[in-house]
Structure 1
Amino acid sequence: MNEPRQLIVVDAANVIGSRPNGWWRDRAGAARRLLADLAGLSTRLPETTSIVVVLEGAAKAAVDDTEPATPRMTVVLAERSGDDKIVDVVAQASAADQITVVTADRELRSRVQAPSTDTVGPSWLWSQLD
């Protein structure tokens, strides 16, 4: 029997904003640091686990075409609303048996409710990264 596939969808703006460490002075830099931390985490997770990070606004400048792809991590740039893009990512994630959305946004949590979808707050992710 195959191991269940897990997808972790990260609301980057919400996760970054959960720590008052001056992120607002350099949103792209804060996003770069989160992406680097998540890339490291992706190597410690089971091979059946993938991470999708949704960036919006000024944080999108953290990514450029020259950055190498991380095998089990994908960065998605939201053209408009990051929340709408997260809802789209979850709706299209049919290959995952379990989806975990990382956000503290109550409205977004209600929008991604489905039988195979859980939501956790940023503190859960930070505890995985620290």
Structure 2
Amino acid sequence: MEHLAVGAVVRRGKDVLLVGDGDALPGGAVEDGTPLLAKVAREAGYAGVTAERLLWVARYRAAGDDYAMLGFEVTGVGAHDGSGEWVHLTEAVERLGRMWFAPIREPAVAYLTGRARVATLWTWTELDGAPATVPGVRPA
């Protein structure tokens, strides 16, 4: 069985919305039967979100289970409720770069720094190893 998760880049000009302790993208696990971007909208503080484009698919195995994380760039629908923290792109890249979880950290930072194309497939055979990417991602 493959588990599904979603994460999203929400931008406002040169700012990126970070949630949690100010070091994560909106998103998380997707429960069966739940609309794909419902958790993103809730965490981002919008009534809904519109997916603008698929940024990445990160596939990995942990504790014997397979996972797929879809990363989207989204636009908020309705008024923003003030949750999360808007930070400049440079600071967002720095904060996300310190995240321990590679299947979010690596694709998000590569996309935000222009090293990865949209719709890049990231595959980890070992979470502490280097991922394979299609198409290739430019080194940092």
TM-score by length of 1: 0.29
Q: Which has the higher contact order (CA 8 A, sep 6+)?
A: 1
Structure that is richer in helix per residue:
1
Structure that is richer in strand per residue:
2
TM-score by length of 2: 0.28
